[in-house]
Amino acid sequence: MELDKLIEKIAEEVYRKISKENNGSTNVRPMDNNDLASIIDHTLLKPESTEADIKRVCKEAIEYRFKSVCVNTHYVPLVSRLLSGSSVLTCGVVGFPLGASTTRAKVDETSDAIKNGANEIDMVINIGALKSGDWNIVKRDIEGVVNMARNRAIVKVILETSLLNDEEKIRACTIAKMAGADFVKTSTGFNSGGATVEDIKLMREVVGPSMGVKASGGVRDTETAKAMVAAGATRIGTSSGISIVKGTKAKAGTY
C-alpha cells in the first residue's frame, strides 16, 4: 500500500476510535513536585538569550535536578560543558521555530548538535508539507533526523498543534511514530497557542504507551503541569520549571 494511503487509513481508524471512546480516562499516577522536576526540560529559546542567561539556566537545572536544558544549537557546546558530570541532559532544537528548512539542513544541524554534546533533539515538523498532505515529505524529513540521531540522541517531533486541526494532529503523530521518533511534542512556544490537555490526550491516544509525549508552550504552574501528566504527558517543556516545582506563579511572558 502506498504511504499516503496507509497513513490516511491509520489516521482514519484512530480518529474513529477516539471519537467513539472519548472518555478522557487515563491510568497515570499523580505526581508530586519533585517528580515533576525529573521530567522538565528547562527551556531557554529566546533569540536574545545571552551566555550569562544560559549559565544561569544550567545552574538552575543542576540545582533542581531537571531532566534537560533545552536551547538553540548555538549554545549546545556551552550547555554540554556546563552540565558535564551532572545528570541533566543537553537538548538542542532543530529547524526551529518554523520547521520550514530543508531536510538536509535539519540533518546537518542534528549532526552538529550531537557532535557538540546534545543528548536530545527537538525538531520542528515540516508544517507546510503536513498541511498540504505531503505525507512522504513529512516522513522523510523526520526519518532524516531520526537516522542521524540513532543510538546517539533521542528525537522529539514538534507538531505546532495550534496550527493544526485534529485530523492533522492525528496524521502528524502517526507519521512521527512510523518514522521512528521517540516523542511527539505540542509546540515551539513561538505561536499563538501552546499545550492543551485535549491535545495531550489526543496525542497519547494516537502514539500509544510506548512513545513519549511532551507538553510545551504555556505550562507555567504546578496545576497545569500535573494536568498535562494526568492527560498522558511524559515530559514538560517550560522556562517556568522552578515555579512549577516550588508551586509559585511564573512571571508573565515565560515559555
DSSP string, 175-228: HHHHTT-SEEE---SSSS----HHHHHHHHHHH-TTSEEEEESS--SHHHHHHH
pLDDT given for residue 16 in this prediction? 73
Per-residue confidence (pLDDT) for residue 167, from 0 to 100: 94
pLDDT for 24 equals 46
Q: Output the pLDDT for position 72.
A: 98
pTM of the full structure: 0.92
Please say if 32 is a catalytic residue. no
pLDDT for the residue 19: 67
Q: Does domain 3-21+29-246 have CATH number 3.40.50.300?
A: no
The question of whether 55 is a catalytic residue gets the answer no
Q: What is the C-alpha to C-alpha distance for residues 147 and 114, in angstroms, rounded to an integer?
A: 12
- Residue 25 has what pLDDT? 47
Q: Which residues pair with 126 in a beta bridge?
A: none
Catalytic residue list contains 4 = no
pLDDT at residue 88 in the model? 98
36 burial (CB, 10 Å; 0-12 / 13-18 / 19+) is buried
* Per-residue pLDDT of the chain in tens (255 residues, 90 and over written 9): 677 777 777 777 776 776 666 554 455 556 777 789 999 999 999 999 999 999 999 999 999 999 999 999 999 999 999 999 999 999 999 999 999 999 999 999 999 999 999 999 999 999 999 999 999 999 999 999 999 999 999 999 999 999 999 999 999 999 999 999 999 999 999 988 899 999 999 999 999 999 999 999 999 999 999 999 999 999 999 999 999 999 987 765 566
Residue 252's pLDDT is: 57
29: CB partners within 8 A, 6+ apart: none
Question: What integer pLDDT is reported at residue 246 of this predicted model?
Answer: 94
- Helical (H) or strand (E) element with 68: strand 68-72
Considering the candidates 41, 122, 141, 199, report the single residue annotated as catalytic.
122
Per DSSP, the chain holds a count of helices (H) and strands (E) of 11, 8
Predicted pLDDT at 194? 93
Could you tell me the three cell numbers for 58? Answer: 544550567
What is residue 28's predicted lDDT score, i.e. its pLDDT? Answer: 55
Q: Which of 67, 106, 169, 214 is an active site residue? A: 214
Catalytic residue among 67, 156, 185, 201: 185
